[in-house]
Amino acid sequence: MAPGVELGFAADPGGAWRLRSAYFPSKVGGRPAWLGEAGLPGPAALRCGRCQQPCAFLLQLYAPLPGRPDAFHRTLFVFACRSPACYRLAGPCGPFRVFRNQLPRRNDTYPEEPPPEEPPPGPAPAPPRQLGSGAALCRVCGCLGPRCCGRCRRAAYCGPEHQALDWRRGHRRSCGQRAAGDDSADAIPEHNEFLFPEYEILIEPEEPEFPADSTDDEQGAVDTSKDTKEQEKLGAAGIADDALQSLDEETLEAMAKHETEEEKVFRMFKKQVAAEPEQIIRYCRGGEGPLWVSGENKPEEKDIPNCVCGAKRIFEFQIMPQLLNHLHVDSLGESIDWGTLVVYTCADNCGGGNEYLEEFIWKQDYSMGCTL
């Protein structure tokens, strides 16, 4: 049986502890809850392919592979640029970065038994300054921070952008104020304006469509009637007769068909989403493929590069436009925007536990005139 689609929904986590690394979360926003502590992507790998500014953590999915002891734990991380201008073009990567990391059940970082379901005792800890391995994390974005404040030599940053941002936000005052053994004066604030709002992602299987084959027939019938209507409309409304005559029948047919094809893909998208309109993720590794929002700008096989190991990449999950509603990125004029984001990962799921491997993401936009 083909694997079914699993849907992801954004939810209030009910406690920040649930989103920490030890609980293997799937989540949106905030800082990444890194899985493995070795081989994290460095600041250069997390810069936007368009504007070269640091990308913000967008989401992570905990997606272990059953039957693969080397991927007993496995998480996919997606980063996205904060600049709306970088979203103008559709296609590969651009303002996005995707990484994959995995660990066997027995590893140096996590116990072999699953984490408890209850919150740990005591107040929720502030975001970590460093990994268990000792590598420093940027105070602003939670990614590797190889650079440090020249005055206190303690605050770590991924680069000059976040150092400047943190200085403005208050490090100017707290720098060097730490009394011996007291971290509270410059504890890392949970939120800042660079981070996307934080949610837990809850995963549920998608209800299979019912009844499958009669729906297909109905779809066909709708299409035909729509085609005819579309042509009647062309004939009756607006276009002058002599204009019509100057276009040959074949051209007209192609025009009408192109339009219907676009509308059809978008209608299928809306129909599939309508059953669970809040879905932000559709997950189906190696399954039937993504739900496109448009017939245009789909990648062909040659557009999806092979993994560094030489294996093909296969569809793993897609991020839906509904996620945008949770990110508070609407602004006057240009906004961060997409129709859907499709993530392809190594079919062999190569790599050991000591590296974060970059994977591939494709952005598809809505066709003209088709928006939710």
Least distance from Zn ion to the Cβ atom of residue 87, Å: 8
- The nearer residue to Zn ion, 229 or 312, going by C-beta atoms, is 312
**Nearest Cα residue to 157 out of 176, 144, 169:** 144
At a CB cut-off of 8 Å and minimum separation 6, what does 104 contact? 69, 70, 71, 72, 73, 353
- The nearer residue to Zn ion, 239 or 309, going by C-beta atoms, is 309
Would you count residue 346 as binding Zn ion (CB under 5 A)? yes
Interface segment toward Zn ion; rule CB under 5 A; list 32-40, 45-53, 110-118, 288-296:
45-53
Would you count residue 45 as binding Zn ion (CB under 5 A)? no
Least distance from Zn ion to the Cβ atom of residue 157, Å: 6
- The nearer residue to Zn ion, 292 or 360, going by C-beta atoms, is 360
CB 278 within 8 A of CB 322: yes
At a CB cut-off of 8 Å and minimum separation 6, what does 355 contact? 36, 38, 39, 101
What phi and psi values does residue 18 have, to the nearest 5 degrees? -65, -20
CB 64 within 8 A of CB 72: yes
Least distance from Zn ion to the Cβ atom of residue 24, Å: 22
Instruction: Select from 10, 28, 138, 165 the one that contacts Zn ion (CB under 5 A).
Output: 138
Query: How many Å separate Cα 76 from the centre of its chain?
Result: 9
Interface segment toward Zn ion; rule CB under 5 A; list 20-28, 151-159, 196-204, 330-338:
151-159
SS3 175: coil
Would you count residue 350 as binding Zn ion (CB under 5 A)? yes
**Nearest Cα residue to 78 out of 37, 51, 132, 41:** 41
What are the helix (H) ranges across the chain? Answer: 160-166, 172-174, 212-236, 241-246, 249-274, 323-327
Strands 281-283 and 313-319: antiparallel
Instruction: Select from 158, 188, 195, 341 the one that contacts Zn ion (CB under 5 A).
Output: 158
Whole-angstrom Cα Rg for the chain: 24
Would you count residue 304 as binding Zn ion (CB under 5 A)? no
Instruction: Dig out the tokens for 212 from the structure.
Output: 């499958």
Instruction: Dig out the tokens for 257 from the structure.
Output: 């068909």
Would you count residue 141 as binding Zn ion (CB under 5 A)? yes
| Contacts to Zn ion from residues 86-105, by CB under 5 A | 86, 95
Instruction: Select from 68, 105, 106, 151 the one that contacts Zn ion (CB under 5 A).
Output: 151
- The nearer residue to Zn ion, 9 or 194, going by C-beta atoms, is 194
Would you count residue 175 as binding Zn ion (CB under 5 A)? yes
Return the number of other C-beta atoms located less than 10 Å from residue 218's C-beta.
10
Please state the three-class secondary structure of 70-89 as a single string. HHCEEEEEEEECCCHHHHCC
- Binding to Zn ion by CB under 5 A, coded x per residue (else -) over 49-88, reads -xx-----------------------------x-x--x--
Interface segment toward Zn ion; rule CB under 5 A; list 1-9, 43-51, 70-78, 101-109:
43-51
Instruction: Select from 165, 188, 307, 342 the one that contacts Zn ion (CB under 5 A).
Output: 307
Specify the amino acid at residue 73.
H
- The nearer residue to Zn ion, 162 or 282, going by C-beta atoms, is 162
Q: Rule CB under 5 A: which residues touch Zn ion?
A: 48, 50-51, 81, 83, 86, 95, 138, 140-141, 149, 151-152, 155, 158, 162, 175, 307, 309, 311, 346, 350
